[in-house]
Chains A and B, each alone.
Chain A
Amino acid sequence: MINPVNITRWHKWLSALVGIQCLIWAGTGLYFNQMDTQAASGNQYRQPVSHRGNTPTARFIPLSKLPVDEPVLSAELIWVSGTPLYQVKTQEPLHQYTAQQHKLFHAVSGLPWYIQPAQVKRIAVKSYNGPGSASAPALTLPPFEFDGRQQNPLWKVTFNDDVNTEVYLHADTGKVIAHSNDHSRLKHLMLTLHFMDYTNTGGFNHPLIVVFGMATLMLAGSGLVLAYRRRLSASPSAKASVDVTVTYNGQRQTLTLPAKQPLFFALTKHNISVPTECGGGGSCGQCVIQTTNDVLASPTERALLSDAEIASGKRLSCQHMAGEFSDVSVDYGEV
């Protein structure tokens, strides 16, 4: 059997470590529950782009004529802003954010093809139906603020609109990867907080959150033990209420207290201020009363009070039901 004092102590120190993060988890969780998914996508001003051109397909050279010697996984006919291209992939990653390995060739000439900033800008503008005007495209290297997982360099085109839209396009193909705006940036901040992803890995598989997750599990477990502990303990008295003679600051009075309520709370209800730091949680050891009754000391009391104190009739009022007593005295301010 684990000493309840230890559980209380663990609960206190674990909450000191992860308490604020638990609040962040619950708060950001509430945000995800309430968020406007449409706005948070960042696609407020996004529209599909048609790239198809009208180059006669009869002029396309066969793929077998391309100067590619190594084994490949796929070759696709793609259109980039009206230009037909062959995209040859030597790797087929499962995610667009994984580093890409591919080559681009013009489908008519068969020559290696590279995108120009003017084409990038044209694609970004085509993908956008908002009121802003576009900046010059900037080729940007990872890491990216909008997605920490992204490993590929991307073009960034900024629009001066009400939500500060940024359009990200693939460095080689000019394919629109994402629209990002103030709404999606707020969502990203919330994800960063929820995943504790302060180094922007873009995910939740990192040691910091695992440590915090384990601590939180222990915090929740210890809390549950504490929350249900007293309910499980046997009640000492069958009666509903009990008369207790209470001496408080030198004055004697007889109070009728509920037998199955902890003495600490029963006394407080009658405006008798028992010293406390923890508010009846059994962790501070301050709520001492003096009694002539023969009451068995709990493990918590044996840990927080000295043997001499226990022998002289001192007990912690949060550790016993009122029904265990008939005579107690409380000396406020003197412990």
Chain B
Amino acid sequence: MRSLIKTRTLHKWLMRGIGIQVLIWALTGLYMISMDIHFIHGETLSDDKHNRFLIQDADYPIAALLDAFPTATQVTLYKRQNKLVYRFKRTNDTQWTIVDATNGQQLSPLTSSEVRQIATSSITDSANITAVKLIDLPEATPAELSPRWLPVWQVTFDDLAGTTFYIQQATGQIVTRRHNVWRAFDWMWRFHIMDYDDGENVANPLLLVLAVLAIVAIISGILLLVCRFLNFASPGSNTLNALNKGGHND
């Protein structure tokens, strides 16, 4: 009986200590598993159907392009804001170079009004643009965007979901889509892994301590449950007591 009581006391006091976090794990976990991950990623927010083109329209040949830019890699033909273009990177160049695929002329990065058109024609639900802002410094990058895409136009819509498109300034491609369901998911993740500043470090000591305590608390709970159910078969007997006293319990 003593060990049963000790187990219960341990379970109770551990859970009084970490019970709130256990509830947070359950809440945040339930949110994350209930939301379709592709919806969270914003894959339904935009579509690219209008970017289809006929390959026969690419009048400027790749051979000519490689003659003009011999170090070009990752050469790709696609449609940027109603215009057929090649994008490629040159040696030691982190930025994309854009060339008109009909005449080989180099094109400049997109302006805010061009980006507005891309955003409006890409969004699946109708919404109005409230702000268009150029982000070109890593330190000015919002947490919801990876700096590797810079420079990027941030296009904010007025819909309830708080939809935001991040459109690369050179390529005109929507590199990141964010909405409030994602932002909530991001906070759920931070509270789930107990890393509250950026949610990037699962290997944090706070989580280690809480996880170890949780394991002890859960094992003690399972022991209590086992005792409860073993006793169920024979009311009045007392399993742990019986174990302690070598089966003598009358």
Which residues does A use to contact B, with CB under 8 Å?
A: 12, 15-16, 19-20, 22-23, 25-27, 29-30, 32-35, 37, 57-64, 66, 68, 71-77, 88, 92, 94, 107, 195, 203-205, 209-210, 213-214, 216-217, 219-221, 223-224, 227-228, 265, 268, 273-281, 283-284, 286, 333, 335
Q: Are A277 and B228 in touch, CB under 8 angstroms?
A: yes
Q: Which residue of the partner chain, among A19, A279, A286, contacts B7 with CB atoms under 8 Å?
A: A279
Q: Are B227 and A277 in touch, CB under 8 angstroms?
A: yes
Given contacts A92-B48, A210-B30, A275-B238, contact A15 B19 (CB under 8 A): no
Verify if B20 is at the interface (C-beta below 8 Å from A).
yes
Given contacts A88-B55, A203-B37, contact A220 B238 (CB under 8 A): no
Q: Are B52 and A217 in touch, CB under 8 angstroms?
A: no
Q: Are B51 and A94 in touch, CB under 8 angstroms?
A: no
Q: Are B63 and A217 in touch, CB under 8 angstroms?
A: no
Q: How far is the CA of A195 from the CA of B48 in the complex (A)?
A: 32
Q: How far is the CA of A60 from the CA of B62 in the complex (A)?
A: 7
Q: Are B26 and A26 in touch, CB under 8 angstroms?
A: no
Min Cβ gap A90→B in Å is 8
Q: Are A20 and B231 in touch, CB under 8 angstroms?
A: no
Given the complex, which residues of B lie within 8 Å of A88, measured CB to CB?
Answer: 55
Residues 86-131 (chain B) with a chain A CB within 8 angstroms:
none
| Interface size class, chain B | 35 or more
Verify if B208 is at the interface (C-beta below 8 Å from A).
yes
Q: Are B4 and A71 in touch, CB under 8 angstroms?
A: no
Given the complex, which residues of B lie within 8 Å of A59, measured CB to CB?
Answer: 63
A-B contact pairs, 10 of them (CB 8 A): A35-B203, A60-B66, A75-B55, A76-B75, A92-B48, A94-B41, A217-B27, A277-B228, A278-B224, A279-B1
Q: How far is the CA of A72 from the CA of B53 in the complex (A)?
A: 5
Q: How far is the CA of A234 from the CA of B144 in the complex (A)?
A: 49
Verify if B32 is at the interface (C-beta below 8 Å from A).
yes
Given the complex, which residues of B lie within 8 Å of A228, measured CB to CB?
Answer: 16
Q: Are B228 and A64 in touch, CB under 8 angstroms?
A: no
Q: Are A30 and B4 in touch, CB under 8 angstroms?
A: no
Given contacts A33-B211, A217-B30, contact A278 B8 (CB under 8 A): yes
Q: How far is the CA of A333 from the CA of B79 in the complex (A)?
A: 85
Q: Are B5 and A276 in touch, CB under 8 angstroms?
A: yes
Task: Report the nearest B residue to A196, measured CB to CB.
Answer: B33
Inter-chain pairs besides A15-B225, A29-B207, A227-B15, 13 sampled, C-beta below 8 Å: A26-B214, A33-B208, A57-B67, A62-B63, A72-B55, A73-B52, A73-B53, A217-B27, A220-B26, A268-B1, A277-B231, A284-B228, A335-B236
Q: How far is the CA of A33 from the CA of B239 in the complex (A)?
A: 36
Given the complex, which residues of B lie within 8 Å of A16, measured CB to CB?
Answer: 225, 229
Q: Are B66 and A277 in touch, CB under 8 angstroms?
A: no
Min Cβ gap B151→A in Å is 22
Given the complex, which residues of A lie within 8 Å of B36, measured CB to CB?
Answer: 205
- Ranked 3 nearest A-B pairs via Cβ: A279-B8, A62-B61, A71-B52
